[in-house]
Amino acid sequence: MKVLLLGVTGNVGSRLLPALLAHNHQVIAYVRSPTKISPEAKSKITSVVVGSASDSEAIKAAILSNNCDAVVNAAGLPATTSFSSQGEFPAIFTAVVKAIVDAGRERGTGPIRCWLMSGFGILDSPKKPHILLDYMPLFPAHRGNYQLIKSYAADDLAWSLFAASQMNPKYDTAQFPPAADTSADNLVARANAPPAWTQKFRWVPLIGNYLNVMVQGQSYFAVLENCVDFIAADLEKGHKSEWIGKRVGVKEKSAIK
């Protein structure tokens, strides 16, 4: 696939690049700071488009002029709590989604496939109708982003939200090709809820559901290179992916007891 990648100069985006290449995708990088791209990464990118991730028209133009089949957004960073300014992240998410929808409509060949980085908190909690964010109020902007994406019809957007907890890189820098000891095979994944969730502490009166979420949260830390391999491998399935229209939770197989 021809993939427009936003955020290639960041922690997640820089590792997404080698993963996408390893799965035979061509990468068009959309960046605001092209000088931050390493020479090695630059040599492997099909083309670089310079612009802001909150400029919807420019992103749409990048998708259409490069004839991209898919978009992966790793641009922007949410504020940790609702007590601080939410910064540009909600505007970036909105602009990227609008660009993808508008580009798809303009091209008229169906919805564009996209993976959008989100957070663990948007997954369903075991106590319906709550999501994990209701118990663990970190990175609150993901809630609004999830509501936005749900408001679009399936024929406008073939979305998946990657709802990982903290992702820790195994290697300090992006590896070309990705290291053999990192792979999506090291993960289990589940649609809309965290995989391998247990009922721990839910019996505790009043605070049981909070304890249940807080105590298990850390066991969902994942290896970043495994996560990006998951996304890149899934994009090979195109519109046949089982993750379209889903929030996707992952867990390291080694963390399952």
Ligand X SMILES: NC(=O)c1ccc[n+]([C@@H]2O[C@H](COP(=O)([O-])OP(=O)(O)OC[C@H]3O[C@@H](n4cnc5c(N)ncnc54)[C@H](OP(=O)(O)O)[C@@H]3O)[C@@H](O)[C@H]2O)c1
Q: Indicate the residue among 123 and 158 with the shorter CB distance to ligand X.
A: 123
Grouping H, G, I as helix, E, B as strand and the rest as coil, residue 136 is coil
- Does 53 participate in binding ligand X (rule CB under 6 A)? yes
What is the spatial distance between Cα 70 and Cα 104, in angstroms, rounded to a whole number?
10
The bridge status of strand 187-191 relative to strand 246-252 is antiparallel
What is the spatial distance between Cα 227 and Cα 237, in angstroms, rounded to a whole number?
16
Binding mask 62-81 for ligand X (x = CB under 6 A): ------------xxxxx---
What the block records as the tokens of 187 is 């993960």
What is the spatial distance between Cα 202 and Cα 127, in angstroms, rounded to a whole number?
10
- The residue range among 52-60, 127-135, 153-161, 192-200 that interacts with ligand X, by the rule CB under 6 A, is 52-60
Q: Indicate the residue among 41 and 112 with the shorter CB distance to ligand X.
A: 41
Q: Indicate the residue among 33 and 199 with the shorter CB distance to ligand X.
A: 33
Q: Indicate the residue among 138 and 201 with the shorter CB distance to ligand X.
A: 138
- Does 32 participate in binding ligand X (rule CB under 6 A)? yes
The helix (run of H) or strand (run of E) holding residue 107 is helix 89-107
- Does 82 participate in binding ligand X (rule CB under 6 A)? no
What is the spatial distance between Cα 116 and Cα 3, in angstroms, rounded to a whole number?
13
- Does 49 participate in binding ligand X (rule CB under 6 A)? no
- The residue range among 7-15, 21-29, 58-66, 100-108 that interacts with ligand X, by the rule CB under 6 A, is 7-15
Q: How far is the CB of 141 from ligand X (least distance, A)?
A: 8
What is the spatial distance between Cα 185 and Cα 193, in angstroms, rounded to a whole number?
19
What is the spatial distance between Cα 169 and Cα 178, in angstroms, rounded to a whole number?
12
Q: Which residues of the chain form contacts with ligand X (CB under 6 A)?
A: 7, 9-13, 32-33, 36, 52-54, 74-78, 88, 92, 117, 119, 164, 166-167
